[in-house]
């Protein structure tokens, strides 16, 4: 029978629970409600999960029921999940003592029973139960007269199979998932979808960007799964339509288990069959051909079925099978188990036997003792493809549940699995296939025979769920796992997790990375499992999830190996290395002396590999990688173009000389002709008589010969590069700048050569006019332009070159003994540094890798990486960044991130990717350039034809405007020469280069300037997109606020003569110093700061009640108070008299020492204080009464988004402490500037609406989305985008990564690695909100510069081409080809120089904006802020104020502005809060005030 859905599950968020008693109250009350089967309330997660009958209850009624109990119940998702039910078949075993009606009502009253069907005729009952609430055995206990019908149960079940093997009715689905950037994304999807009802298994592949899901289609649809993945923020598409799993079509395991479970029974019930038999089955429930093929394909997979024919018309199946292995009854059950489980099967009477003696079945011959005490054999299977302990556990988990498997042990180190099995039920080949079906390579060793031993059947113990623990082989019992941790905000969270986990038994070490949101834990698998470690982290108040595939990632090593002589040397190295644990692959080439090695950096390091090769007698060293930024400074290109320019110039100068000489002589002849009225014949004779015009051969003058000789080397040596590039472009069916240049020069050269050869052939008397002067002059200007362009480009990449040059090349590795004394030092290449190495960094040295200080104190300059000008103090425990410079003290650091994982490498990679990526505007320019060249060629041809036509029609125009017109040349030649000159000039001046350079040069300079200012922009697209942004969405915690709680106010509730403020602080600070809670840490920090001390008193009998508070006893605080009193006295004395300062100082110091000594002698008589710190509930529980004014004061603080904590000393209320997450000082200013730039600013947070409203009012934001879950942030961003707005999302990059990826521009703040870098488009290295302003400002400036560049480029082309074509000839504008090429070179250079102006960009700073009048920046009153709660856009606007309230509000605003002026002048804080502030709500920051 198919599992049915008669119950639903819903999770309701419950606010207001304080302790376990609240949990029990809710569970008892709601559990009694009619229709509720089960309820589980979690105090930590503040939620209640209820399984209920949808016919009797709805999510809304259940929410109201919890609300009525006095708690705040919120329904985030009103869509309930279906709960899987099971069917139990009961039969009457003895005469019934009770009537059937009574049995039915008893069963229906039982929690977890959703339906009962009674059949008095068949003396049976069918009960539908929820297996997670009630079991079949509990049902039998309720009604003793009924017992389980095992036969029917076996036939009908198929729902409570374990998850590891596919079941009947399972479907496999493959989905394409886009937008995944890291393993955090895969974990998120697997975590979200894996929890859905009906999803059996899910595996997400980051490399293939796809998800493989096995699910039950009667519980969940493929479309629902797709929606859930999209809700997390990843677009998903179904690749293949879901198909039923063949393995799931028959429950092979249950089928095979039948003879062992009930062998005797089956022998008695079923008649004996000969060894080869045929049986006809009658099958009800087939509808179409797909049912036929379904049954045929499912049964034909069984090894003991030789053939099967199913007939839809006769509703029958004829099955031929091996009767020695299976019975007809087993086959009947097999057919009934086929998905979708709707077939009713009966055995027909027609049975044909093919063997002679049907008297004895081989089943009956089987000895019974085998069943009671079966044989056990052992098989060893070689398994390849395992990468970590997760693989081991999944193989052990699946194979141990196979029928006949007694035990299994899989070794990751040896890549083998040792299995004890019953040979009557399974075989090594079957087990090998089962392992291969899981995706591993499995093979049986040839030589070993299975070992036979007699053993008792072993009990199967359930394994823990598989999780990812890459094995660490430093010790045999040390494993490693990675856990994704969310909710960490600062270094204290990291310290809290590390400190608490180290206390747990079985955990060796913990390394938590704040930026990556990841914890690496080494543990003993025999003592503790990753799932339990994740649970410990959750108990500390953080989100935790075991990560799959986190430890994967191979290192690749290239080595030069010297000393090899033959192939045996190669084999020796390869065989030795591959035997080493952690080396996956090794290839050594004798010819090149190089070795290529792939290894696991967690197990082995490059130094170990080099030592291993060294121990074999060879010398190994790293292949030197070019760490310099040579590829960025364009030195090679600059050298190439300078050479090209000088070659062209060398030949061009004589050509220019000849040209000038001819021009002077022509001018001289023209003057003579004009003055002396010489005839044309005389002119021609005189022209021919000139030295250069003398003919060596008929038709070949000295001038033309010299021009040809000077042109040849330039054309084919200087222009060789252009020919290659033009050929490559045309080969790929594109046309670029080089094609135009080659066209212009080749046509000019070819035309001239042809004319010259024709003249020589015709033995012409008059020398032809050639263009041999054009190519050298063209190439000179083009080479000059390219040379200048590359010099400028080199400048644009300076920023990246500077970043690369920060990387240290060597590191000093030190060895320490057990007492931490230095044993040895060794200088190694930075690429040989392994994780965990201890490195010494001397003053003035660079940090070679990221690490943590273990010894020494120093100041470190991190300015080139973070942009922070001030040096940062480092002490043991501080983290250091590769590339930063150690200033004054020697430090020992332990490497935590090496090679490509260091922060500097990540930044360099990011900037390199940014500078190579194209902005959309650039893609347009490239497209334009593609059409540009053919267009110019067309214009050039049209120019040629038009001038030829004009010349022949009206020769006077040519005669007038041709600058070098010579009457000695024929009219036709003059026209053609003039037309040719115009068309070649068009080719020369047209320049797609400047169009192509307009964007990339500006993007390169822009990203480089950004990187220098601590703003990392991922390429042209975000840089261009940022200027279009209309909405900036800020996350609250860690972005607008610091993310760490701080004490805002301490109110003393008793007279100071009873107990002083300092005494309260000393007691409270001591009490809270033992607390792990962030609020406790904030209180301790505040007290230490106020008392100016690092040490506090003694705390005993410390107890903590989660959600309520702490109680303890405090002693030894008198010393603290005396110290602080003395400091106050000293300050008072100093301030009182400046004249006798020396004498007074001596006096105060002597008196202070006397007082302290006197006090220490009485230290034995210290007083003990009984302390209670906590919320209202905690105080009431301990019998204390809270007065109305204190309660009102607490409510006021809570309304402002603060946590109010009460302090009791010796059963008397003494103080009220207000704690809140404070707003960053620059937040209000940043929001104001963004608004002044015309942007809409929105606050989005998962926090409650009160806190969100309070924070928004402080920074001046008017639109707030509160109580938004991380997965819903994506939907919110999408919602804003659907309104047609471009959205920038600013987050701290840990839990906001899906929203950062969804936004048009994602800006990650205060981070520089992993999640943030992968999801965001812009990464701000410094935790400064003004950098958000700077990034948008830089984008606007860059886009403006790109537009200016386009103007430059287009002006040259739009004006230059018509001038070159001769359009402006009537006004005397005529261009020679060399002028065109000069203009073309100038356009490219001017565009690059224009881009370099961006280098002058200066980032706006806090001080710049502080100079502006602050009157415009203003905190908002609550009525101006609209708060939208959750995913549904229900706006919770503040209540409309009445007329009287508004008058009070306006008057208060004006009074406040006066008060604020006074406050800023006098810096005096009133001790009483403003009375109106309680009515309307004043959101000013409170300073410490005393009641």
Active site residues: 1035
**1000-1038 burial, b for 16+ CB within 10 Å, e for fewer?**
bbbbbbbbbbbbbbbbbbbbbbbbbbbbebebbbbbbbb
CB proximity list for 168: less than 8 A, separation 6 or greater: 158, 248, 249, 250, 251, 337, 338, 339, 340, 341
Distance CA 1179, CA 1181 (A): 5
With contact defined as beta carbons under 8 Å apart, do 481 and 533 qualify?
A: yes
Q: Three-state secondary structure along 765-798?
A: CCCCCCCCCHHHHHHHHHHHHHHHHHHHHHHHCH
Dihedral sign (CA 631, 637, 640, 646) = negative
Q: What φ, ψ does residue 824 adopt, rounded to 5°?
A: -155, 160
Torsion of CA 852, 854, 855, 857, to 10 degrees: 30
Return d(Cα 708, Cα 720) in angstroms, integer: 17
| CA distances (Å), origin 1445, targets 748, 818, 1070, 1250, 1450 | 88, 73, 45, 20, 9
- Residues facing residue 579 across a β-bridge: none
Residues with Cβ within 8 Å of residue 97, at least 6 apart in sequence: 145
Q: What is the DSSP-derived secondary structure letter of residue 142?
A: H
Sign, CA dihedral 1259-1263-1267-1269, equals: negative
Cβ within 8 Å of residue 35, ≥6 positions away = 52, 53, 55, 56, 57
Instruction: For residue 651, count other CB atoms closer than 10 A to its CB.
Output: 22
Report the C-alpha gap between 508 and 478 in whole angstroms: 8
Distance CA 832, CA 557 (A): 10
My answer on whether omega of the bond before 33 falls inside 30° of 0, hence cis, is: no
Considering only CA atoms, which of 1219, 1206, 926, 1214 is closest in space to residue 1047?
1219
Give me the phi and psi of 1311, to 5 degrees please: -135, 170
Q: What is the CA radius of gyration of the chain?
A: 43
d(CA 883, CA 629): 15
End-to-end CA distance of the chain: 73
CA dihedral 538, 543, 546, 552 (to 10 degrees): -140
CA distances from 806 to 879, 889, 899 (A): 18, 20, 14
The helix (H) or strand (E) run that includes residue 1172 is strand 1169-1174
Contact between 729 and 739 under an 8 Å Cβ cutoff? The reply is yes
Residue 299's nearest CA partner among 337, 325, 272, 264 is 337
Q: Which of 962, 654, 637, 658 is nearest to 780 (CA)?
A: 654
Residue by residue, DSSP assigns 1363-1381 as HHHTTTGGGT----HHHHH
- Pairwise CA distance, residues 160 & 1180, whole Å: 49
Beta partners for 1208?
A: 1172, 1213
Pick from 200, 281, 197: nearest CA to 248: 200
Spatial separation of the C-alpha atoms in residues 507 and 522, rounded to whole Å: 6
Q: SS3 of 1033, please? A: strand
């Amino acid at each position: 029978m198919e599992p049915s859905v008669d119950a639903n599950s819903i999770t309701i968020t419950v606010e207001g629970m304080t302790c376990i008693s609240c949990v029990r109250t809710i569970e008892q009350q709601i559990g009694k409600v009619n229709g509720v089967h089960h309820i589980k309330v979690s105090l930590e997660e503040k939620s209640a999960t209820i399984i209920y009958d949808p016919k009797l209850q709805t999510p809304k009624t259940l929410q109201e029921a919890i609300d009525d109990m006095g708690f705040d119940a919120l329904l985030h998702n009103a869509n309930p999940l279906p709960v899987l039910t099971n069917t139990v078949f009961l039969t009457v075993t003895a005469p019934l003592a009770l009537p059937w009606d009574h049995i039915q009502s008893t069963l229906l009253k039982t929690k977890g029973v959703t339906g009962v069907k009674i059949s008095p005729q068949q003396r049976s009952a069918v009960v539908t139960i929820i297996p997670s609430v009630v079991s079949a055995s509990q049902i039998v206990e309720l009604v003793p007269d009924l017992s389980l019908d095992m036969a029917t149960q076996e036939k009908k079940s198929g729902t409570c199979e374990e998850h590891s093997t596919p079941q009947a009715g399972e479907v496999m689905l493959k989905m394409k998932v886009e937008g995944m950037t890291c393993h955090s994304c895969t974990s998120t999807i697997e975590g979200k979808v894996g929890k859905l009802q009906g999803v059996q298994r899910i595996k997400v592949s980051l490399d293939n960007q796809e998800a493989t899901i096995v699910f039950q289609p009667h519980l969940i649809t493929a479309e629902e799964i797709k929606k859930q993945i999209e809700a997390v923020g990843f677009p998903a598409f179904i690749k293949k339509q879901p198909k039923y799993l063949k393995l799931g079509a028959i429950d092979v395991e249950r089928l095979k288990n039948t003879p062992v479970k009930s062998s005797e029974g089956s022998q008695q019930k079923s008649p004996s069959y000969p060894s080869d038999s045929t049986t006809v089955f009658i099958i009800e429930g087939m509808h179409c051909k797909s049912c036929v093929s379904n049954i045929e394909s499912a049964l034909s997979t069984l090894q003991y079925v030789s053939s099967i024919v199913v007939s839809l018309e006769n509703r029958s199946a004829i099955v031929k099978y091996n009767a020695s292995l299976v019975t007809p009854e087993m086959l009947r059950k097999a057919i009934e188990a086929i998905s979708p489980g709707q077939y009713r099967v009966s055995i027909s009477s027609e049975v044909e036997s093919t063997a002679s003696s049907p008297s004895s079945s081989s089943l009956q011959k089987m000895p019974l003792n085998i069943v009671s005490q079966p044989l056990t054999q052992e098989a060893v299977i070689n398994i390849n493809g395992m990468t970590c302990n997760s693989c081991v556990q999944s193989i052990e988990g699946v194979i141990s549940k196979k029928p006949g498997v007694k035990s299994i042990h899989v070794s990751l180190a040896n890549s083998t699995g040792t299995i004890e099995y019953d040979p009557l039920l399974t075989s090594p080949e079957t087990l090998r296939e089962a392992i291969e079906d899981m995706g591993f390579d499995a093979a049986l060793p040839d030589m070993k025979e299975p070992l036979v031993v007699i053993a008792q059947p072993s009990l199967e113990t359930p394994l823990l769920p598989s999780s990812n623990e890459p094995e660490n082989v430093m010790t045999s019992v040390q494993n490693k796992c990675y856990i994704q941790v969310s909710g960490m905000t600062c270094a204290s969270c990291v310290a809290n997790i590390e400190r608490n986990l180290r206390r747990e038994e079985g955990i060796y070490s913990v390394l938590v990375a704040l930026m990556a949101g990841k914890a690496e834990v080494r543990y003993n698998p025999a003592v503790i499992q990753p799932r339990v470690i994740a649970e410990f982290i959750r108990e500390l108040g953080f989100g935790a999830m075991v990560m799959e595939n986190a430890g994967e990632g191979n290192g690749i090593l290239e080595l030069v190996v010297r000393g090899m002589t033959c192939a045996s040397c190669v084999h020796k190295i390869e065989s030795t290395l591959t035997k080493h644990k952690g080396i996956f692959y090794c290839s050594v080439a004798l010819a090149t002396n190089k070795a290529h090695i792939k290894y696991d950096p967690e197990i082995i390091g490059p130094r170990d590999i080099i030592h291993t090769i060294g121990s074999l007698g060879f010398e190994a060293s790293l292949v030197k990688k070019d760490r310099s930024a040579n590829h960025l400074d364009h030195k090679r290109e600059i050298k190439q173009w300078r050479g090209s320019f000088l070659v062209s110039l060398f030949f061009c100068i004589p050509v220019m000389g000849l040209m000038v000489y001819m021009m002077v002589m022509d001018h001289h002849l023209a003057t003579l002709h004009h003055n002396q009225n010489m005839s044309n014949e005389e002119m021609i004779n005189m022209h021919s008589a000139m030295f250069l015009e003398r003919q060596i051969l008929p038709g070949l003058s000295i001038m033309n010969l010299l021009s040809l000789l000077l042109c040849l080397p330039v054309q084919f040596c200087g222009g060789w590069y252009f020919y290659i590039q033009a050929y490559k472009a045309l080969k790929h069916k594109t046309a670029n700048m080089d094609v135009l240049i080659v066209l212009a020069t080749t046509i000019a050269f070819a035309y001239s050569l042809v004319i010259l050869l024709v003249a020589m052939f015709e033995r012409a008397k008059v020398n032809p006019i050639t263009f041999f002067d054009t190519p050298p002059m063209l190439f000179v200007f083009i080479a000059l332009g390219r040379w200048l362009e590359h010099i400028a480009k080199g400048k644009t990449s300076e920023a990246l070159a500077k970043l690369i040059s920060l990387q240290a090349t060597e590191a000093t590795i030190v060895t320490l003994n057990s007492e931490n004394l230095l044993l040895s030092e060794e200088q190694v290449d930075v690429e040989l540094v392994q994780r965990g190495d201890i490195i010494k960094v001397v003053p003035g040295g660079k940090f070679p890798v990221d690490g943590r200080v273990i010894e020494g104190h120093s100041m470190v300059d991190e300015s080139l990486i973070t942009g922070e000008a001030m040096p940062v103090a480092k002490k043991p425990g501080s983290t250091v960044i590769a590339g930063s410079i150690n200033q004054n003290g020697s430090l020992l650091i332990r490497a935590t991130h090496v090679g490509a994982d260091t922060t500097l490498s990540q930044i360099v990679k990011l900037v390199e990717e940014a500078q190579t990526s194209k902005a959309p505007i650039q893609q347009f320019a490239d497209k334009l350039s593609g059409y540009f060249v053919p267009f110019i060629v067309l214009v050039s041809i049209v120019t040629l034809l038009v001038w030829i036509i004009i010349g022949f029609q009206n020769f006077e125009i040519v005669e007038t405007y041709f600058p070098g017109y010579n009457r000695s040349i024929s009219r036709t030649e003059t026209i053609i020469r003039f037309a040719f000159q115009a068309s070649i000039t068009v080719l020369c001046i047209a320049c797609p280069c400047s169009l192509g350079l307009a964007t990339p040069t500006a993007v390169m300079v822009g990203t480089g300037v950004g990187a220098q200012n601590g703003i990392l922009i991922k390429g042209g697209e975000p840089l261009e997109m940022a200027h279009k942004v209309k909405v900036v969405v800020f996350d609250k915690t860690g972005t607008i606020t610091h993310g760490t709680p701080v004490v805002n106010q301490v109110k003393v509730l008793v007279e100071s003569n009873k107990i002083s403020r300092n005494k309260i602080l000393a007691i409270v600070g001591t009490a809270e110093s033992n607390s792990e809670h962030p609020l406790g840490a904030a209180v301790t920090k505040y007290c230490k700061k106020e008392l100016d001390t690092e040490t506090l008193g003694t705390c005993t009998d410390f107890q903590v009640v989660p959600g309520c508070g702490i109680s303890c006893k405090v002693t030894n605080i008198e010393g603290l108070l005396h110290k602080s009193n003395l400091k106050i006295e000293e300050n008072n004395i100093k301030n009182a008299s400046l004249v006798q300062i020396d004498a007074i100082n001596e006096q105060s110091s002597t008196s202070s020492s006397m007082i302290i000594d006197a006090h220490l002698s009485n230290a034995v008589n210290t007083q003990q204080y009984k302390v209670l710190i906590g919320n209202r509930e905690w105080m009431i529980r301990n019998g204390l009464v809270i007065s109305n004014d204190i309660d009102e004061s607490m409510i006021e603080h809570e309304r402002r988004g603060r946590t109010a904590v009460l302090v009791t000393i010796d059963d008397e209320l003494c103080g009220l402490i207000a704690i809140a997450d404070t707003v960053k000082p620059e937040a209000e200013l940043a929001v104001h500037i963004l608004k002044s730039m015309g942007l809409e600013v929105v606050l989005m947070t998962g926090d409650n609406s009160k806190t969100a409203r309070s924070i928004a009012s402080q920074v001046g934001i008017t639109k707030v989305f509160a109580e938004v879950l991380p997965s819903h942030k994506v939907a919110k961003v999408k919602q804003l985008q659907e309104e047609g707005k471009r959205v920038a999302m600013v987050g701290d990059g840990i839990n906001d990564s899906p929203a950062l990826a969804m936004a048009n521009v994602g800006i990650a703040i205060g981070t520089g690695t992993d999640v943030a870098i992968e999801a965001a488009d812009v990464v701000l290295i410094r935790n400064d909100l003004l950098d958000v302003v700077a990034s948008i400002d830089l984008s606007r400036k860059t886009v403006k510069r790109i537009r200016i560049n386009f103007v430059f480029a287009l002006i040259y082309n739009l004006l230059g081409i018509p001038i070159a074509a001769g359009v402006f000839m009537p006004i005397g504008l005529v261009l020679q080809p060399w002028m065109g090429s000069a203009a073309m070179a100038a356009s490219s250079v001017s565009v690059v120089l224009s881009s370099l102006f961006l280098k002058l960009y200066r980032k706006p700073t806090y001080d710049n904006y502080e100079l502006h009048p602050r009157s415009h920046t203003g905190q908002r009153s609550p009525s101006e802020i609209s708060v939208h709660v959750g995913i549904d856009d229900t706006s919770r606007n503040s209540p409309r104020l009445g007329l009287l309230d508004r008058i009070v509000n306006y008057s208060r605003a004006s009074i406040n502005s006066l008060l604020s002026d006074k406050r800023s002048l006098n810096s005096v804080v009133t001790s009483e809060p403003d009375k109106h502030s309680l009515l309307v709500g004043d959101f000013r920051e409170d300073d410490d005030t005393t009641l």
